[in-house]
Amino acid sequence: MEKHTLAKNEIMATGSILLVLIYVVFFTLFIIIFPIICNNKFLLHIAILANIFALVAISWDLLFGFVGILNLAPAVFYGAGAYTVGFLTKYCHIHPIGGLIIAGCVGLLLSLLLGLPSLRLRGAYYAMATLAFSAVLNTLALGMPNITGGEEGIIGIPSLISGTEWNFYFSSYLVLTCVLALKYMLSTKYGKKLTSIREDEILSQAAGIDTSKYKVIASTIGGVIAGLAGGYSCYYFNNVAPEVFSIAFTFSIITITVTGGIGTIIGPVIGSYLLTFANENLYIIGQYRLLVYSGIIIFVILFSPTGIIGAVKKLKRN
Amino acid sequence: MLELKNVSKSFKGLTALLNVSFEVQRGEILGLMGPNGAGKSTLINLMSGFLRPTSGEIIWKGVNIEKLKPYHIVVKGISRTFQQPRVFLNMDIFDNIYVGLLPSNKSGLFKNNNLKERVFEIIKKVSISNAHSTLARDLPHDELRKLEIARAIAADPELLLLDEIVSGLTVEESNEIGEIIRMLNRAGLTIIIIEHVMKFLMNVSQRVVVLDHGEKICEGSPEEISRNPKVLDVYFGKGEEENLA
Amino acid sequence: MLLQILVSGFLLGGIYALMASGLSLILGVMRIVNLTHGLFFTLGAYILFSFIIGTNVNPFIGMFFTIIVLFLIGSFLEWLIIKRIKYSEINMMVLTLALAIAGEEFIRITWGPKYLHIPPLIEGEIRLGHIYMPNQRILACFIGLFMLFLLMFFLKKSKTGKAIRMVQQIPETAALMGINVRAISMVVFGLGVVLAGAAGSLWAPMYITYPAMGWTPLLISFAIVILGGMGSLGGSILGGFLFGFATLLTSMYLSSGLVNVIPFITLFIVLLIRPSGFFGKDIF
């Protein structure tokens, strides 16, 4: 029975220090050169968006692509992180760095809360539970205007960092750190055990791997990343609104990851850049964005479930 | 070392095992045989924690393990293989064994503590001839079976449960596996073999337990078993034509 | 007051039961988590709308044709796309989610994003003492029950119905027994979709119609199906009525915005305590 992901020598490839160095060099150059080439604040803004989405996509992929759990609510961690920053700033006037860190912690706590049921529930049930959870949060965010600002949300959050260029550097740095840290983690014994759970959970249990523990850890890491992304997004956009809990957001994340390639770390990043830029640049499809996204997903799932990265790897093999 | 006391298992009214009791002594090779549906695989699943007995106890080195999760039982020193060849297909040989490594070095199967070297040691022990970077999905059937054994002993177990390890192999390949099993046993590993291929089981086991319809019908040495009328009845009475001798 | 709640709850429950059965049928027989359920709920309303506004035909005839159209779309979808991903439950969820969103956008483009009002099939209401029952609601509930009754009858007595139950209970052997599992899958999916759409078209005149109206019914249907036991038709029907009562009870004490939170929280709790629901796996 074909598994939902075929990412293969991901593990082999990451062991190489050379590759890591190449990544670092490439990304650093990219980060430095990009703002110089694109002397266009708007493009930088799009890139920042892409970075934020990439972070959430990576965190979602950690659960879906690597452990095999379908979570229909990456929005939960992201939105919670964003609203945390919103609340803390509005009511406690917290220092931005503190806010960011706490957003990450909130992501961690929520991921534990949502992660534990995942151990007891089968895939479909769990997915529905997460969907329900994000719907609850959405309703709460809308339905309690006194606390959450209702439809408008919380506005007037000061920036963590001022200036588009610096935000670009910061967000890109976040993505880079995330990618490197995860790639390193995956090359360790822990990472290989994680992927073995995706490959064949029963077999990994027979190999002595406490699958529950690993699932929770993976889920937690994902939660922290998404929470941080959410917190940062609140600082960058200077506001937070119930849209963060919407199905549209969840769906965008899924599209990004599936297109770029499930079960890889770099896939979501590529997918994010591709789709975010496509979305903003092709105004023609602007109105039909979700339609196009869904079309992409349908196409990818039917014909290349492993996304772009998977297709590239298959070509390389042949 | 391992003791089963009155172990029974029912599934929604269907009794798979009834009051099965026997012991496994340290350092022996025990064969578990019986016709299809006798309950052998259920027994292995119970011993390895994938199922819980409806009643009865499973005691390992003095401790009850029947309620433990599979990974916990592995940590406690019991490792298993599966009836259908089961390895991590998209990982290579090295990683297949690597992920099964546990930190401790209990049974003295390993000469050194360096994880990577241990993997190579295991590969050599089990005589896998393919390069360690070969993907598991590209392996021929006999190498696959060896990889299964390798993966199972990576956890440094004291007891190894082999579920129909030679099914699908030629006589020569089976003999090779038999040699590996004897070698592991000489190094101190206790082994339980479940098999359908009678010749193999009789050749390799030092003692045999026979199941039929979920009950133990007798146990003893291979010679005793092959002469036991109850056993002959179970096999020939059902039209099975395996040669017991 | 309580009596009013009971009655209203019952009327609402009829629609919930109809809606949830569609999901339950597909889940039980095809073992597919159908996230397009909400989409077809919405589509049912919109198609009925088009029939009524566009052709001036008797609304009941409009409903009849809506059902036919939905069945055709559903079976076609199953044949074209759904059948290809049977192997992976998770991919199926992502796929149906994508289809649901695509469908919603399609609706938004075709009919426009604004709220629509579908006129009730029957105007007026009945009053019994202090109890007030709008005719549309009574009609909706009874049509719903009638359709469910037809469904049960179909499943129990007809040849196709029996084949469907066999595919549900012994999937591997059903094919060996000569049952055309392919065709059955198409029929079942079509039926499930019809039930969703019928519920939607009955619901819409009582509230408003808009492209995204299907998500909440989707989640509610799931909550009901899980409560009643995944794959148990009877359970879903019963659960539907329970939910109808519960919804109305809570609407007395909570603002309307928060009312929908309750089913989700219930769902969450039920999933934690007893994921298999209360009825288990048989279709009856």
Q: How confident is the model at residue C195 (pLDDT cuts 50, 70, 90)?
A: very high
Strands C125-128 and B55-60: unpaired
Q: Do B99 and A209 touch (CB under 8 A)?
A: yes
Nearest chain B CA: its distance from A174 CA (Å): 30
Out of C99, C104, C267, whose CB is closest to A298? C99
Residue A266 lies in a domain: no
Domain extents in chain C? 13-213
Q: Which residue has the higher pLDDT, C71 or B127?
A: C71
Chains that touch C (3 or more CB pairs under 8 A): A
Q: Do A22 and A125 fall within a single domain?
A: no
- Chain B residues inside the 8 Å CB shell of A7: 90
State whether residue B75 sits within 8 Å of chain A by CB. Answer: yes
Nearest chain A CA: its distance from C202 CA (Å): 24
Residues A307/A258, Cβ–Cβ less than 8 Å: yes
CA distance B82 to C255: 56
State whether residue B102 sits within 8 Å of chain A by CB. Answer: yes
Q: Which residue has the tokens 């439809």?
A: A151
User: Please, what is the average pLDDT of chain C?
Assistant: 81
Closest by Cα among A266, A256, A257, A194 to A20: A266
Chains that touch A (3 or more CB pairs under 8 A): B, C
Q: Do A139 and A198 fall within a single domain?
A: yes
Count of domains observed in chain A: 2
Q: According to the model, what pLDDT value does residue A10 have?
A: 42
State whether residue C270 sits within 8 Å of chain A by CB. Answer: no
Percentage of chain C exceeding pLDDT 70? 90
pLDDT in tens, C123-182: 777 777 777 777 778 888 888 888 888 888 888 888 888 888 888 877 777 777 777 888
Q: According to the model, what pLDDT value does residue B160 have?
A: 93
User: Please, what is the average pLDDT of chain B?
Assistant: 83
Final residue before a domain boundary, out of A215, A247, A279: A247
Q: Do A46 and A23 fall within a single domain?
A: no
State whether residue B155 sits within 8 Å of chain A by CB. Answer: yes
Q: Do A6 and A104 fall within a single domain?
A: no
Domain that holds residue A6: 1-37
State whether residue B94 sits within 8 Å of chain A by CB. Answer: no
The ipTM (two decimal places) reads: 0.84
Q: Do A24 and A118 fall within a single domain?
A: no
Q: According to the model, what pLDDT value does residue A13 have?
A: 45
What is the mean pLDDT of the segment spanning A171-191?
Answer: 85
- Burial code (b: 16+ CB inside 10 Å, e: under 16) for A165-196 equals eebbbbbbebbbebbbebbebbbeeebbbbbb
3-state SS class at B64: strand
State whether residue C153 sits within 8 Å of chain A by CB. Answer: no
pLDDT in tens, C230-260: 667 888 888 888 888 888 877 777 666 666 6
- A 195-214: CB under 8 A from B: 195-196, 199-200, 202-211
CA distance C118 to B3: 72
Q: Do A52 and A98 fall within a single domain?
A: yes
Q: Do B90 and A8 touch (CB under 8 A)?
A: yes
Closest by Cα among B171, B213, B212, B174 to B193: B174
What is the mean pLDDT of the segment spanning C66-73?
Answer: 92
Percentage of chain B exceeding pLDDT 70? 91
Return all residues near B46 (Cβ < 8 A) that are at least 6 apart: B7, B9, B17, B52, B53, B58, B66
pLDDT in tens, B130-140: 887 888 888 88
Strands B2-11 and B55-60: antiparallel
- Chain A residues inside the 8 Å CB shell of B151: 207
CA distance C175 to B228: 43
- Chain C residues inside the 8 Å CB shell of A291: 101-102, 105-106, 109
Q: Do A20 and A121 fall within a single domain?
A: no
Residue B156 has pLDDT above 90, yes or no: no
What is the mean pLDDT of the segment spanning C36-62?
Answer: 86
Strands B190-194 and B159-163: parallel
State whether residue A8 sits within 8 Å of chain B by CB. Answer: yes
A162-171, A183-192, B39-48, C50-59 — most confident range: B39-48
Q: According to the model, what pLDDT value does residue C72 have?
A: 93
Residue B170 has pLDDT above 60, yes or no: yes
CA distance B210 to B191: 16
Residue A279 lies in a domain: no
Size of interface A-C (CB pairs under 8 A): 126
Nearest chain C CA: its distance from A22 CA (Å): 33
A255-259, B102-106, C36-40 — most confident range: C36-40
> Is there an interface between A and B (3+ Cβ pairs < 8 A)?
yes
- C 115-144: CB under 8 A from A: none
What is the mean pLDDT of the segment spanning A224-236?
Answer: 88
Q: According to the model, what pLDDT value does residue C280 have?
A: 47
User: Please, what is the average pLDDT of chain A?
Assistant: 78
Q: Which residue has the higher pLDDT, A277 or A226?
A: A226
Residue B239 has pLDDT above 70, yes or no: no
Residue C196 has pLDDT above 90, yes or no: yes
